[in-house]
Amino acid sequence: MGAELRRVGIATREELLEIGWQEAWVRLIEKYPGRLNRNAAYGLAAAVLDVDWRRLPAEVKQEVLVMAQQLRRHLLL
């Protein structure tokens, strides 16, 4: 996913931390709408929180699910 992040203007972990996983995921979804899924968002959130994606807090997983639904509706409009 590193190359994709660079293509949307995120070249370093510091840049990812600065904009947050939510904005990074939105940028990626806009550029690659058919290629990315919730697992990509889990990975971004885990990178920001510096945890294994399987150990993401339940509230972060819920936020990913809500964002995924909102983005899906947005992309279908």
| Contact predicate 25/67, CB 8 Å | yes
pLDDT at position 3 over 90 = yes
Give pTM, 2 decimals.
0.84
pLDDT of residue 35: 76
What pLDDT digit, counting tens, does each position of 17-72 carry? 999 999 999 999 889 887 778 898 999 999 999 999 999 999 999 999 998 888 87
- Burial per residue of 44-60, b for 16 or more beta-carbon CB atoms within 10 angstroms, e otherwise: bbbbbeeeebeebeeeb
Q: Is 45 helix (H, G, I), strand (E, B) or coil?
A: helix
In CATH, the number for domain 2-76 is 1.10.150.20
pLDDT of residue 34: 79
Residue ranges of domains in the chain: 2-76
In whole angstroms, give the CA distance from residue 42 to residue 25. 10
